[in-house]
Amino acid sequence: MTQQMDLNQRFEEYIALDQKIEAKDWMPDAYRKTLIRQISQHAHSEIIGMQPEGNWITRAPSLKRKSILLAKVQDEAGHGLYLYSAAETLGISRDEMLDALHTGKAKYSSIFNYPTLTWADMGSIGWLVDGAAIMNQVPLCKCSYGPYARAMVRVCKEESFHQRQGFQIMLNLSQGTSEQKDMAQDALNRWWWPSLMMFGPSDASSKHSKQSMRWKIKRFSNDELRQRFVDMTVPQAELIGLTIPDSDLKWNEETGHYEFGPIDWSEFEQVVAGNGPCNRERIETRVAAHENGAWVRDAAAAYAEKVADRESRQTSAA
Amino acid sequence: MSASKTDWPLWEVFVRSRQGLSHKHVGSLHAADSTMAISNARDVYTRRQEGTSIWVIKAEDITASTPSNKDVLFDPANDKVYRHPTFYDLPDELKNM
């Protein structure tokens, strides 16, 4: 009992002193559970996030754009893998996490349940969705759990090209023909509000926020990060002559921030509950990829076993 | 869901970022054997020329000290401050030492 108290006290001290918690350190069960939930959902988001963009790889307008998109989607796969590894240090297996994703037990970012209808959606995803992700992820580089923080450093380094390439697509379209400009505006109209929802429910109704901030997993509140994103993005839209689809949007000289209209949280709840435009398709595609790859995993395991067996027989013969 | 017959083991990955530096731990991954581990490590951890050499080691083959041993292992060094050059109070006139 006293030993338990000592351990808890040491954990609290580490947190207070901004020291990192490492995989083998003692941690409260609730801290471990919170991290497993957050990191695995983050990993799932990266993996499911490959699909909306994968949709355009074969239809990219040039070889250069296709190479860039391929590299970006490959990065998302990499980010998913860094994060799955970080989650595994907490004692959950890769298979358990994948099962949770495939059976719908685990969530992923609801933004990926929206369809990618035009090439301008590739621009909007890079500019807005990756922009919002960066806003969320940069503070995670300083999160209290070492393996997660280190994975996020890698992710953030790679993510900035994603946002820049997206903005460049929007820039080029906005300088193009009137159809191209309309296409860019249409994509912005569809992605703007879902991007604001990426920061999660407002502070008042976010159920995990408070405890996560106390544990220094989370460093800023959902509303703070959302405001920063709006402040950063509005001038970028102005620069390329696109209009943010919000009639309430206005600059507040006094606060130094943009004020924006109310978010339709009922839409967010619907998408989280599984009723977004693409929820079913995303999971079906993921499950099919997993099942169709089973023979590859089995063959590789059988081959590794055969080689190991042969090597051990050679060793015993010698 | 068709479960794999065998779970691929976990490998820890170490990358030498350039000649002259030591290998540094960068993360882990799953692979069926060491050849696949190297090739996966190349794809996962060195997409932007982060490395000139990769080591992979099965995670289960690593022996690590445990956090509960921390005091036993590292505390005795605490009272041996004379191992540090700053322990020695020398006259200011002494240059370049």
Number of Cβ pairs closer than 8 Å across A and B? 67
The continuous run of DSSP H or E covering B44 comes out as helix B34-45
B-chain residues within 8 Å CB-CB of A304?
A: 32-33, 36
Per the CB < 8 Å rule, is B1 touching A303? no
Task: Say how far apart CA A296 and CA A298 lie, in whole Å.
Answer: 5
Q: Which residue in the set B32, B44, B67 is minimally distant from A300, CB to CB?
A: B32
Measured between beta carbons, the chain A residues lying within 8 angstroms of B48 are 158
pLDDT tens digits, one per residue of B15-63: 999 999 999 999 999 999 999 999 999 999 999 989 999 999 999 999 9
Q: Choose the closest CB to A24 out of B5, B6, B67.
A: B67
Q: Is residue A195 within 8 Å of A129, Cβ to Cβ?
A: yes
- Chain A contact for B86 (CB, 8 A cutoff): no
Tell me whether residues A24 and B27 touch, CB distance under 8 A: no
Closest alpha carbon to A84 in B40, B54, B23: B40
Q: Between chains, do A301 and B32 touch, taking CB under 8 Å as contact?
A: yes
pLDDT-based confidence at residue B5 (cuts at 50, 70, 90): very low
Among A8, A75, A148, A297, pick the best mutation site for testing chain B contact (most B Cβ within 10 A): A297
| Token output for A299 | 């063959």
Termini Cα distance of chain A: 55
pLDDT of A41: 97
Task: Give B28's contacts in chain A (Cβ within 8 Å).
Answer: 85, 88
pTM surpassing 0.90?
yes
Answer whether A41's CB lies under 8 Å from A107's CB: yes
CB pair distance less than 8 Å for B44 and A81: yes
In angstroms, the separation between the Cα of residue A116 and the nearest Cα of chain B is 26
pLDDT (0 to 100) of residue A259: 98
- Tell me whether A95 touches chain B (CB under 8 Å): yes
Which residue is closest to B25 within chain A, CA to CA? A150
Contacts of A297 (CB under 8 A, 6+ apart): B4, B8, B32
- Which residues in chain A have Cβ-Cβ distances shorter than 8 Å to B66? 24
- Is the per-residue pLDDT at B6 higher than 90? no
Which is it for strands A250-252 and B53-58: parallel, antiparallel or unpaired?
Answer: unpaired
Measured between beta carbons, the chain B residues lying within 8 angstroms of A303 are: 32-33
CB contacts, 8 Å: A151 with chain B: 27
Condensed to tens digits (0 to 9), the pLDDT of residues B45-57 reads 999 989 999 999 9
Best probe of the A interface among B33, B39, B62, by most A CBs < 10 A, is B33
Query: Cβ–Cβ of A301/B67 closer than 8 Å?
Result: no
Over the stretch A24-79, which tens digit does the pLDDT of each residue have? 999 999 999 999 999 999 999 999 999 999 999 999 999 999 999 999 999 999 99
Identity of the residue in B8, B10, B47 whose CB atom sits nearest the CB atom of A78 = B47
Of A85, A95, A154, the CB nearest to B29: A85
Mean pLDDT of B58-73: 88
Residue type at position A209 = S
Query: How many residues in chain B?
Result: 97
A212 or B6: which carries more pLDDT confidence? A212
Rounded to whole angstroms, the Cα distance separating B76 from A279 reads: 57
Nearest CA of chain B to the CA of A179: how many Å?
36
Q: Which residues of chain A have pLDDT under 70?
A: 1-2
Q: Which of A239, A129, A124, A273 is nearest to A189 (CA)?
A: A124
- Best B6, B24, B73 residue to mutate vs chain A (most A CBs within 10 Å): B6
ipTM: 0.87
CA distance B32 to chain A (A): 5
Residue B2 above 70 pLDDT?
no
In the DSSP assignment, the letter for residue B45 is H
At A196, list the tokens: 């604001």
- Shortest CA distance to A304 belongs to which of B86, B44, B90, B37? B37
- Put simply, the answer to whether B44 touches A78 (Cβ < 8 Å) is yes
Residues of A in Cβ contact (< 8 Å) with B36: 300, 304
Beta partners for residue B16, in sequence order: B53
Q: What digits encode the pLDDT tens for the residues A95-110?
A: 999 999 999 999 999 9
A294, A304, A305: residue with CB nearest B4: A294
